Chains A and B, each alone.
Chain A
Amino acid sequence: MERHAQHAFDAEEVMAYLDGELEARRAAELAAHLVSCSQCQEVAQGFRALSERMLSFEVEHPSAEMNGAVLAALDSAQSSRAPGVNTAADRKGGKWRKFVFNPRVWAMAGASIVVALVVIGILGRSGLPVPGNLLALREESGGYKPWLSKAGPAAPRGGPEIYQTSTGGRDAVIGGAVPEPPPPAPGDELKAPENVGPMIVQTASLTILATNYDEASTAIEKLAAVHGGYVEKLDAKAQTGNARELTASLRIPTRQLDGFLADVRKLGHVEEETRSNEEVSDQYVDLQARLKSARATEQRLIELLGTRTGKLQDVLEAERELARIRGEIESMQGQSALLVHRVNYAAVQLDLNEEYRQVLGSGAISTGTKIRNAAVEGFTNLEEGAVALLVFVFAVGPSLLFWLVILLVPGWFVWKRYRVRARG
């Protein structure tokens, strides 16, 4: 799916066309173009083959139990609804007003606060955990990892409702913005499991509108090198009549990421910027544990083979197992190294767009070609017109002739008689 140099359509447009997402006029042009362009046909075939291949990732059907739970919830929701046409919000508003202006509610609330204060006071003196301490205990026991909030992504705010439910003792956030994890309590140490620091894979994505595209595009590679990073992939598009685009995938040392991004932002107007952090400590620790266990197994197998006393079949079995374990160890070592590399080098996706200015005479098609195309079109129209006329004559001619004879001959006689009478 590489870029088509000097081509009327790029691979991305072919993809959008196959997805039914190309603007109607452009889609019609591309459809006509696809008939004759083998290069584009190949690209389209590639996308189709990929979609077909992806369908091999099948999943089984859900069980019937799922229906029961949802339909039961539906029934209970329906029965709890008050009759009438009021919306839930209206009803809620009415109930809320009654609730707020009810003196009994106020009395109950006051009493509850007094009781709560007394209970907290007693518990505090007796050294039992008060609610605040309970929260701290929960955080310590791994309810959430405090060090994540330091480097963790800022949760998006706003959006639809935040709804919390509790199913099987587990809280889930549904249908709304993801809430920020609570900040770590002061004095909390950033502890990491088994002497491994918090491993965060950082990714950043920037879309920049460059005022000076040429300078900006050359600066990207230099900036990456200056900050100790490298360019993974660079894809430049410079189609005639369109703004130039440059897409770069970069790897920057994580410590240098902020500095690099600050420098990149100076290249133009930042249209979009996203950063995300993925915590992979668990994966790493898990991988190391599996690696350790696999090495121990390998060692045991080696010892076993060294003191072989069993049948030949058992020895062969042990050797096969040893080969398999070694394969696993190599694979896990590779994964581990990759993980460390991903942590050390942040992935930066950079889209650089040129601030496009229309240039006179920069049309995709030259004037000579336009005249030639017009001449070809004129000749085709003439040919089609002549063919259409012939088709009409052959299609309609015989019946027209027939009706003319049928109608004109008696008409002519009538007219002749009328003339004779008029003269007489």
Chain B
Amino acid sequence: MNSDDQLIWEFQQGAREAFVELFERYREPIYGFFRRRLDHPARAEELAQECFLALLQNVQRYEPRASFRSYLYGIAIHLVAAERRKAGREVVENEKLDSRAAQGNGAENRDAGIWVRKALGQLEQSEREILMLREYEQLSYGEIAAALRMPVNTVRSRLFRARAALKNQLLPVKD
């Protein structure tokens, strides 16, 4: 299996299949990234598309400084930030719509998911972002550091704090 960097290099040389393979590889993860942060499926899908379009348009300028994953999630992080900044009110409305839809389905796992989402919402923003990138996007500490432009040690200590806080909220406390 080709590495991400190998594929992006091949695509820079004009190989269409290389991009298709990258897209297939990251289609669901990138959609999941936006879906967990934005709550509105259609908007999450649009932003996932925009993320790949941005990659497509900037591919000739891509340089393998850090891993490709941190570059791709870096784009996604900027997109989410822009979305939250520019359409703050709209996002709040969407969240209301979605939470209602979620309550309607009433599946057991979805309920458990709502608790996790609520608990994540209590975390400080940068800690939440680091924790989500680690747990859901499975990024390494180095990749998170590159995507968020912060030292690896800071990533580690904030991740620890975030997990400690979340554990207090989600898991039963032992006497």
Residues of A within 8 A of B (CB): 1, 11-12, 15-16, 19-21, 46-47, 49-51, 53-63, 65-67, 69-71, 73-75, 77-78, 81, 85, 87-89, 144, 156, 159-161, 163, 165, 167-168, 170-176, 178, 203, 205, 207, 247, 272, 274, 276, 278-279, 282-283, 286, 347, 349, 351
Contacts and interface: CB of A to CB of B under 8 A. Distances in A.
B124 interface: yes
B75 A50 contact: no
Interface string B90-131: 001000000000000000011011011100100011100000
Interface in B1-60: 12-14, 16, 19-20, 23, 27-28, 31-32, 35-36, 41, 44-46, 48-58, 60
Given A56-B113, A174-B75, A178-B82, A70 B171 contact: no
A49 B160 contact: no
Interface string B123-154: 01110000000111000110000000111001
15 contacts: A1-B160, A11-B160, A19-B140, A19-B141, A21-B141, A54-B166, A55-B135, A70-B53, A78-B16, A89-B60, A167-B50, A172-B50, A178-B81, A272-B150, A349-B124
B59 to A, nearest CB: 8
A176 B78 contact: yes
Top 4 closest A-B pairs, CB basis? A56-B112, A88-B60, A174-B54, A62-B31
A109 B65 CA distance: 40
Given A207-B154, A276-B125, A54 B116 contact: yes
A411 to B, nearest CB: 60
A274 B151 CA distance: 12
B134 A19 contact: yes
A74 B16 contact: yes
Contacts of A205: 126
A163 B156 contact: no
A247 B20 contact: no
Contacts, number: 179
A347 B124 CA distance: 9
B49 A15 contact: no
Nearest to B109: A56
Nearest to B14: A81
A165 B56 CA distance: 12
B124 A54 contact: no
Given A50-B163, A67-B27, A174-B50, A74 B56 contact: yes
Contacts of B82: 172-174, 178
A62 B45 contact: yes
A85 B13 CA distance: 7
Contact of B163 (A1, A69, A178, A286): A1
B118 to A, nearest CB: 10
Interface of B: 12-14, 16, 19-20, 23, 27-28, 31-32, 35-36, 41, 44-46, 48-58, 60-61, 74-75, 78-79, 81-83, 85-89, 92, 109-110, 112-113, 115-117, 120, 124-126, 134-136, 140-141, 149-151, 154, 156-157, 159-161, 163-164, 166-167, 170-171
A171 to B, nearest CB: 7
A165 B53 contact: yes
A156 B54 contact: no
A234 B83 CA distance: 35
Contacts of A59: 31-32, 35-36
A411 B65 CA distance: 71
Which of A12, A51, A89, A283: most chain B Cβ within 10 A? A12
A279 B88 contact: yes
Contacts of B110: 58
A15 B160 contact: yes
Nearest to B13: A85
A85 B149 CA distance: 33
Given A19-B134, A174-B54, 6 more contacts: A1-B167, A12-B157, A73-B53, A160-B61, A174-B78, A175-B75
B54 A286 contact: no
B12 to A, nearest CB: 8
Nearest to B61: A161
Nearest to A11: B160
Contacts of A207: 154
Which of A54, A67, A205: most chain B Cβ within 10 A? A54
A49 B163 CA distance: 11
Contact of B160 (A12, A66, A156): A12
A60 B49 contact: no
Contacts of A53: 112, 116, 170-171
B79 A174 contact: yes
Nearest to B151: A272
A60 B151 contact: no
